[in-house]
Structure 1
Amino acid sequence: MGAVLQTTRGLWRFGQTVLGIIFRHPITGTSIIPILPDGRIVLIRRRDNGLWSLPGGMVDWGEDVPTAIGRELQEETGLELVKIKRLVGVYSAPDRDPRIHSICIVAEADVKGVMTVQDELEVVEIKAFTLDSLPQEEMSHDHNRQIKDYLQGLTTLA
């Protein structure tokens, strides 16, 4: 299984590079700050780098951002989107995602359900954190900043 996973990852990275060269435009994605009914924030641990991360991913062709948020949330955590509460920010630094140049739209969302790893190729672990127990170590991509901006009540364009 490990060799197949590595081959799949390698092909995906190659495909992303080719698309970047052909289209030379950033890819649009989402990050979700999922809030459980008890106020805890849900994070995932990524398989590719082992770091904690907000759930999220690329907006598919023909899909709007709210639909992508609900789909990515369910695909990565098993949780159901109840309501998108607020826009936290739009993050567009070319180096914010080590794989590709992506523009990330970050939203806070009320969620419900049972946390379960749905996509074992991307997610190793899911955990809910109280505000005072959020990981202090480096997170994937620029998710430390996204969470910091969220906690400060900011709406960021960066």
Structure 2
Amino acid sequence: MSRLWQIVQTLLGLILRHPVTGTSVIPILPDGQIVLIRRRDNGLWALPGGIVDWGEDVATAVKREMKEETGLDVVKIRRLVGVYSAPDRDPRMHSICIVVEADVQGNMVVQDKLEVAEIKAFTRSLLPPGEMSHDHLQQLQDYFNNQTTLA
């Protein structure tokens, strides 16, 4: 039994000690506004997104997360904004975030009431001031600077 437990511990260590892959989306409405969500867990504004599910590619995760969190449909993924992997970028875990710009459309409706407190569209000049969740402010700054970032 001791050997079996060692194997289980080794496997759990390998699985749990690897970063989790997720996405953030910079959603652009037809009028050019950017959609943000207010997270329920910390009350901060954030880009929609989440963890890529097992067996799912990143493009599918982007579309699923947009629909789940905002009710909006992804029309087109425009470009890769960056890959963010600093171990402290997410206070909950070490995660790697693949950020894309996407054209979206539809009606904004909170779908996941456990995660999302509010959805709102902002013009660039009227984005909410102050701190944003995780490293989303940096992601937006890189987007506005037309950068593709590996951080």
Same fold (TM over 0.5): yes
Confirm or deny that 1:120 pairs with 2:113: yes
State the Cα deviation string for residues 22-70 of structure 1 (Å, max 9, x = none). 5310000000000000000000000000000000000000000000000
Q: In structure 2, what is the equivalent of residue 29 of structure 1?
A: 22
Over the aligned positions, Cα root-mean-square deviation in angstroms equals 1.2
Aligned equivalents of 2:134, 2:102: Cα separation in 1: 20
Aligned equivalents of 1:63, 1:22: Cα separation in 2: 18
Shift of 1:20: 7.3
- What is the aligned residue count? 140
State the Cα deviation string for residues 89-139 of structure 1 (Å, max 9, x = none). 000000000001000000000000000000000000000000100112100
Aligned equivalents of 2:115, 2:128: Cα separation in 1: 19
Gaps of 5+ in 1: 1-18
Confirm or deny that 1:148 pairs with 2:149: no
Confirm or deny that 1:93 pairs with 2:95: no
Aligned equivalents of 1:69, 1:89: Cα separation in 2: 14
Q: Which amino acid aligns with 2:121?
A: A
1:106 to 72, 82, 99: 99
Aligned equivalents of 2:14, 2:120: Cα separation in 1: 36
Q: Which amino acid aligns with 1:67?
A: T
Instruction: Please state whether the residue corresponding to 2:75 is helix, strand or coil.
Output: strand
Q: Which amino acid aligns with 2:79?
A: R
Aligned equivalents of 2:35, 2:117: Cα separation in 1: 14
Gaps of 5+ in 2: 1-11
Confirm or deny that 1:62 pairs with 2:55: yes
Identity of aligned residues (%): 75
Q: Which has the larger radius of gyration?
A: 2
TM-score of the superposed pair, with normalisation by structure 1? 0.86
Would you identify which runs of 4 or more consecutive aligned residues in structure 1 move more than 4 Å?
Answer: 19-22
Q: Is the contact made by 1:20 and 1:100 (CA closer than 8 Å) also made in structure 2? A: no
TM-score of the superposed pair, with normalisation by structure 2? 0.90
Instruction: Please state whether the residue corresponding to 1:150 is helix, strand or coil.
Output: helix
